Structure 1
Amino acid sequence: MPENVTQRFSNRVDDYVRARPGYPAEFVDTLEQEAGLTAGALVADLGAGTGISSELFLERGYPVIAIEPNAAMRQAAEERLSGGPGYTSLDGTAEATGLPDTSVDLILAAQAFHWFNQPAAKQEFTRILRPDGVVALLWNSRLTDATPFLQDYEALLQEFGTDYQQVNHQQYDTPVVQAFYAPRPVERRVFPNTQRLDRDGLRSRLLSSSYVPPAEDPRSRPMLDRLDQTFDRHAQHGVVELKYETVLFFGRW
């Protein structure tokens, strides 16, 4: 994973913790029921960020090794999760985890696969997974036109985003993922997910994105003014709704 990628979120950690959406627990149910994930399975959460995905597995009693190259995000996760059992945090990447050979049962990449060097990550996955281990890739894919608010929010990102199109993870859907798993089969499941945010939460959600101008950029103030206008136009009872499809890919390795 290139250095500039690993540092993209360093100045956005507080907003990331405050306003990034979680994932529906149904995706863990699917891994248990359809991928054969069993009690005590060791989970390697690659690109674990602030621990949003790790926490779901810890809550169910799975031991988790969270691999995160960004020190600020790793520290935020440690502050939230290290007090409980089963949590280990390591400085590493999907291409160089630092884990022993054949040591984990499930590799999870939540909101992270699109940052990986895929050939190098595939080699590393093969090295660290136990026989019949599972690889799961997960994204919250924001709906862009399901409501007038979502249409206006997307228009804001199109106007002010710095490299929004280049890093948009939606381009990494089925064909790219199938090629990554090949020659192994891969399953795809989709779950609805909704995030309700007040004005401050929506601002944090926007600022948590790596592709929007930072505070010192002259475009930041106009962008935030536009966001306030968008919120005022669409909020009901003081909140707006960001709607997502949570997309899960999984398969045995």
Structure 2
Amino acid sequence: MNQMTRNKALQYAKYRLPYSVEASTFVIEKADVSHGVVADIGAGTGLLTQHFVGNVEKVFAIEPEFEMRKISHELIGERQDIEYIAGVAEDTRLLDQSIDLIVAANAYHRFKPEDTMKEFKRILKPTGMLAIFSYDDNSNFLRDTMRVCNMDQYNKRLNATRHQEPVQYFYGDSTPSRYLFKQEHIETWDEYWGAVISGMESPDESEDWFEAFQKAHAQRFHQLETNGVITVRYSTEVWIGQPKYR
């Protein structure tokens, strides 16, 4: 797996599709945590974290990659109501029953499900809630972006970093509610390619399949573009509920 370099982390922060501010506001109200403590698991460069900082009492941003934590800190700024922790979903380094709300974005695909659920059970307060954010891709744009370059090297990396459990699995014996918040995003080639290459599974320029990978994406972009841009229509998908773990 490629190392998360500063350049790759910067591309991630700059070019990844944004999450809906409205969705985060909804979750804060639904979970009643405006005066509570939130843990963002797999916080990355703060794409989701930023919507909670300043709107709840305290945020713990749990992220194992140094460069992503550093950029998140640079973008959000020095504040007393956020703490960055070099942890993972399976070992957050948080105190027992200290969290009112756990949030996680697309990083949940990388969590080890069973170990993560044990950790969530440990850190959540008895009335604590879990909200998982993702992209609803009913146009299949994101799916097709991942499939456009059907190379063994890329597919192996994807398979090695993603479990097969559905999002509802992380709620144990409870059934979460699902909400969609529609969005639209305009992308140039630089923005499209920046989002693609920011993924840890994508090749570095030094790898022998980088050129073919880039060429395949350039061909796809030019098939989709109008006047040099494409329009990505998607929704921020939110699953929220109070998990019940045995």
**2:104 corresponds to:** 109
**2:159 corresponds to:** 166
With normalisation by structure 1, the TM-score equals: 0.83
**1:13 corresponds to:** 9
CA shift for structure 1 position 50: 0.4
Any conservation in 2 of the 1:162–1:212 contact (CA below 8 Å)? no
With normalisation by structure 2, the TM-score equals: 0.85
- Equivalent of 2:74 in 79, 82, 89: 79
SS in 2 for 1:77: helix
Structure 2 counterpart of 1:130, one-letter code = K
Identity over aligned residues, as a percent?
26
CA shift for structure 1 position 171: 5.0
CA shift for structure 1 position 32: 3.6
Structure 2 counterpart of 1:88, one-letter code = E
Any conservation in 2 of the 1:190–1:246 contact (CA below 8 Å)? yes
CA RMSD across the alignment: 2.7
Q: C-alpha separation between the residues in 1 aligned to 2:83 and 2:224?
A: 42
Structure 2 counterpart of 1:177, one-letter code = V
Structure 1 counterpart of 2:39, one-letter code = A
- Equivalent of 1:196 in 186, 189, 208: 186
Q: C-alpha separation between the residues in 1 aligned to 2:196 and 2:76?
A: 25
Alignment pair present for 1:28 and 2:24: yes
Deviations 1:192-219 (A, max 9, x none): 2333211211111110123322211222
Q: C-alpha separation between the residues in 2 aligned to 1:151 and 1:222?
A: 19
Alignment pair present for 1:46 and 2:36: no
In structure 1, the gaps of 5 or more residues are none
In structure 2, the gaps of 5 or more residues are none
Any conservation in 1 of the 2:38–2:60 contact (CA below 8 Å)? yes
Q: C-alpha separation between the residues in 1 aligned to 2:235 and 2:164?
A: 14
**1:139 corresponds to:** 134
Deviations 1:47-98 (A, max 9, x none): 1000110001115355211000111111111111132452211111111111
Structure 1 counterpart of 2:221, one-letter code = F
Any conservation in 2 of the 1:66–1:88 contact (CA below 8 Å)? yes
**1:129 corresponds to:** 124
Q: C-alpha separation between the residues in 2 aligned to 1:92 and 1:78?
A: 15
Alignment pair present for 1:206 and 2:201: no
Q: C-alpha separation between the residues in 2 aligned to 1:237 and 1:205?
A: 20
When the two structures are aligned, how many residues end up with a matched partner? 241
Q: C-alpha separation between the residues in 2 aligned to 1:168 and 1:248?
A: 22
CA shift for structure 1 position 166: 2.1
Q: C-alpha separation between the residues in 2 aligned to 1:51 and 1:36?
A: 20
**1:90 corresponds to:** 85
Structure 2 counterpart of 1:75, one-letter code = K
Label 1:233 to 1:136 Cα distance change in 2 as closer, same or farther (>3 A).
same
Q: C-alpha separation between the residues in 1 aligned to 2:143 and 2:121?
A: 41
Label 1:202 to 1:81 Cα distance change in 2 as closer, same or farther (>3 A).
same
**2:207 corresponds to:** 217
Any conservation in 2 of the 1:102–1:128 contact (CA below 8 Å)? yes
SS in 2 for 1:246: strand
